[in-house]
Structure 1
Amino acid sequence: MFDRAIALWNRLDAGLGAVPAALALLALRIALAIPFWRSGLTKWDGFLNLSTGARYLFEQEFKLHIFGQAFAYPAPLTMAFLAGLGEIILPILLVLGLGTRFAALGILGMTVIIQLTVPDGLINFHLPWFAMALALVVYGGGTLSADRLLGGFFGQRVKGSARPAR
């Protein structure tokens, strides 16, 4: 009986292990892109025009919590503008799998700044975002990515496409 249970367990484990890594990496890219994209949409009132809400938050509300102190953002409108650009451009790159490692690294940096701004969000938001971004920095976009497509188009492997060595 015990041997049959172990054999069943091993078959199920092998079946789950057969799921292509490309699907998991695509799901990670999309899952990480969605919250940043949605946040980015709230920062703009038209093309490159910061919303009133974004201006107010970065100038009045957002503070960097470092060493037990709260510090105002340096150059708050510049920070709002850069955050808004990052929250639009980086998710697009992630979903496409274009420059995946670099886009994920940008999201990783943004997550650290967001954590310093909103320290209470670590467990529910920032830690999962950090883990997803870190996985994409390490493994790249996978075979279902523009990185891989462009590498094949140009006859060479583009770095960051997470293909096993030959």
Structure 2
Amino acid sequence: MVIDQHFGASERYRLSHLVDKAEHLIQTVALPSLVQFVMRVALAVPFWKSGILKWTGFLKLSDTAVTLFTDEFMLHLPGGPYHYPLPAVMAFLSGCGEITFPVLLVLGLGTRFAALGLLFMTMIVELTVPDGWPIHLTWAAMALGIMAWGPGRISADHLIHGFPRQAN
């Protein structure tokens, strides 16, 4: 073994001890609940930024949002691309999802369902902008991670469901 040729037992022990200390430091910094919170915020940000641009007032879509779904955005499916069906409805639903799901994610409320909603939206975005797959893949990975491991302790879901229930 290469390590055996260059290091004696005491050097291997010191190296192993140093690696253990480094791993402990990393585990101290990357607490699972903190990582889950950061992942929720990281997924929420791009959708929130897109969604906030679609509105000019409470439940009032901007003309630009409707125009994008009417004239610019296309579904890249076999035999296409195709225009979005019901572009005003699609713009409204997209705008609602891009505002609601990120808020739920950051709060950690209905977290797995909010992540599922953003995963679905990510798939639609991928059909609209197929060249954006590298960033869409990161969004999908974050959404799947949130769906798999939940919101963590820094969440409303944990406050609501995480504590042991009292016997009646």
- TM-score category of the 2 structures, normalised to the smaller one: 0.7 to 0.9
- Is residue 60 from structure 1 mapped to residue 110 from structure 2 by the alignment? no
Query: What are structure 1's unaligned runs of at least 5 residues?
Result: 157-166
Q: CA offset at residue 56 of structure 1?
A: 0.6
Secondary structure, in 3 states, of the residue corresponding to 1:69?
coil
Question: 2:123: which partner in 1?
Answer: 112
Q: What is the correspondence of 1:7-156 to structure 2 with a 5 Å cutoff? A: 7-18=17-28, 19-67=30-78, 69-123=80-134, 125-152=135-162, 155=165
Matched, 1:6 2:39: no
Deviations 1:70-117 (A, max 9, x none): 011111111110000000000000000001000000000000000000
Count of residues in Structure 1 that have an aligned counterpart in Structure 2: 155
> Unpaired runs of 5+ in structure 2?
1-10
Amino acid at match of 1:145: S
Structure number with bigger Rg: 2
Percent same amino acid among aligned pairs?
Answer: 51
Q: TM-score with structure 1 length normalisation? A: 0.88
- SS of the residue corresponding to residue 165 of structure 2 reads coil
Q: Residue type matched to 2:36 in 1? A: L
